Structure formats: structure tokens, C-alpha cells
């Protein structure tokens, strides 16, 4: 079974790509209701890198456990009719909780410059689930993905800030 989103976000594709690799930005997509917490003693990595396995605990408001999930990261780059597309894939699996009844969890997110407006991002999000529990869990996941889509639209403009590129106004330009 599939759940898909297709949105145009108010940030450039580079900012969206950076956000996909940020565990904090990803956790913010489910907030403020669902919380993502690291299971590893060292905490969440600063960046989700290809090949990474990141175990997390999910809960409602930090109180009601939803289970544990393993995030497994891979990525690929392709070209479509409009140009380059970067695809981030989480092929991890729910380990415990209601989602652990799924046999298949394949979440892919594709970002590319929006056609006609490279300052914005075309975001395509696809979740494929399978197994005996897929049909009863689909409506809950579909509703969650609608929430996620609204959060993507709300948070994307905040991703556009690039601190490395920001000019430091506290220093006199002649001293640089």
C-alpha cells in the first residue's frame, strides 16, 4: 500500500536536501505531538549519512510510547524531464509498537527545484507499507502524512537560512 505527497515548498532544493539529513528537522515534522528520541547513548547524529542505522524511540508528548524504529539511510541522484532529483530513502523498519506489525516500510523523499521557480522545491514523498497490518494501519498513516505535509509547508521557509552564507554584521567590513 502507498501513501504519497507532492508539494511545492518555500525553500530552495539545497535547503530541503540539508533538512532531510537533519534528525532535528525530521523530528520537527512530527511535532509537537510525536516526539523522536535517540536510543543510542551518543544521541542522534548531527547528520543522517548514507549507510547510517539510527535507532529512535517515538512517543506522544514524551509520555505514551509508540514504539521503536530503525532509520536506515540511503540516497541516490537521478535526472527527470525538469532536471536533477535527489532521493533520500529510509528503508529501516519499525522494531516495536503498532507499526512493527508491518513487513515492509520503504519511505522515499525526492527533492528538486520546482519547475519554473528554482527558488522553491518540488517535494515528493512516498511511503510503501506491506504486510497483514498494512490495511488497518493505512488510514492512521495517511492522516499522519497529511499532518506531515502541513508541517513541511510550515517549516520549509525556516530551512532556507544558511548560517555559513550569512554576513556577520557585528564586524566592521574594513576588519574582514
- Record the pTM: 0.86
pLDDT of residue 81: 81
Tally the C-alpha atoms within 13 A of residue 77's C-alpha that lie toward its C-beta. 5
Contact 75, 87 (CB under 8 A): yes
Contacts of 62 (CB under 8 A, 6+ apart): 35, 37
135: in domain: yes
Residues of the chain predicted below pLDDT 50: 165-176
111: in domain: yes
pLDDT of residue 161: 62
pLDDT of residue 171: 47
C-alpha cell at 161: 537560512
Supply the CATH number for residue 79's domain: 3.30.530.20
pLDDT of residue 140: 92
pLDDT of residue 26: 86
84: in domain: yes
pLDDT of residue 97: 92
170: in domain: no
18: in domain: yes
Look up the domain containing 29 and give its range.
Answer: 2-160
171: in domain: no
Helices (H) and strands (E) in the chain, counts: 3, 8
For the chain, what is the domain count?
Answer: 1
Contacts of 172 (CB under 8 A, 6+ apart): none
For residue 161, give Cα distances in angstroms to 69, 125, 156.
30, 23, 10
Amino acid at each position: 500500500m502507498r501513501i504519497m505527497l507532492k508539494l511545492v515548498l518555500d525553500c530552495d532544493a539545497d535547503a530541503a536536501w540539508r533538512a532531510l539529513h537533519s534528525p532535528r528537522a525530521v523530528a520537527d515534522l512530527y511535532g509537537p505531538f510525536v516526539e523522536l528520541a535517540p536510543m543510542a547513548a551518543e544521541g542522534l547524529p548531527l547528520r543522517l549519512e548514507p549507510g547510517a542505522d539510527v535507532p529512535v524511540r517515538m512517543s506522544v508528548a514524551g509520555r505514551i510510547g509508540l514504539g521503536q524504529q530503525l532509520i536506515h539511510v540511503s540516497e541516490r541522484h537521478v535526472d527527470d524531464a525538469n532536471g536533477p532529483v535527489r532521493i533520500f530513502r529510509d528503508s529501516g523498519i519499525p522494531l516495536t509498537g503498532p507499526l512493527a506489525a508491518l513487513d515492509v516500510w520503504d519511505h522515499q523523499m525526492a527533492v528538486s527545484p520546482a519547475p519554473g521557480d528554482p527558488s522553491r522545491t518540488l517535494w515528493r514523498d512516498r511511503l510503501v507499507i506491506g504486510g497483514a497490518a498494512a490495511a488497518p494501519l493505512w488510514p492512521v498513516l495517511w492522516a499522519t502524512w497529511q499532518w506531515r505535509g502541513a508541517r513541511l509547508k510550515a517549516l520549509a521557509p525556516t530551512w532556507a537560512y544558511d548560517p555559513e552564507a550569512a554576513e556577520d554584521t557585528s564586524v566592521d567590513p574594513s576588519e574582514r
